[in-house]
Amino acid sequence: MDIIKINASLANAARYDILRWLKDPENNFPPHKEVSGFGDGVCVSFIKDKSGLSQSTISHYLNMMENAQLVIATRIGKWTYYKRNEATLAAYFKALQEEI
């Protein structure tokens, strides 16, 4: 876990919002048609639609968040789904409490 990468990811309001929305996907996104439930995460197109940002911007943001291990990507067919990496978040919060 890289605290600096995580901090950089969370320093942007849109990326922060994405992580917050992914905490409760059932209440922040419409149901998927291709898969049942949100076990594999949320489709990139839903995240893009909710954010109002371009596909390229959302892809860049999600890639940055994945590199910081904040989210986990799952590819199903032609779609990519993202969910929070709760293990990294727990380790990050613990490290902040212990180090700062």
The domain ranges of the chain are 3-99
At residue 74, does pLDDT exceed 90? yes
Question: Tell me: the pLDDT tens digits for 9-65?
Answer: 999 999 999 999 999 999 999 987 776 777 789 999 999 999 999 999 999 999 999
Which pLDDT band holds residue 76 (cuts at 50, 70, 90)?
confident
Question: Tell me: the pLDDT tens digits for 54-66?
Answer: 999 999 999 999 9
* Region 3-99: CATH code: 1.10.10.10
DSSP conformational letter for 56 = H
Q: What is the pLDDT of residue 78?
A: 87
Separation CA 68–CA 62 (nearest Å): 10
Do the Cβ atoms of 62 and 18 come closer than 8 Å?
Answer: yes
Q: List, in sequence order, every beta strand (DSSP E) within 1-100.
A: 42-43, 71-76, 79-84
Model pTM?
A: 0.89
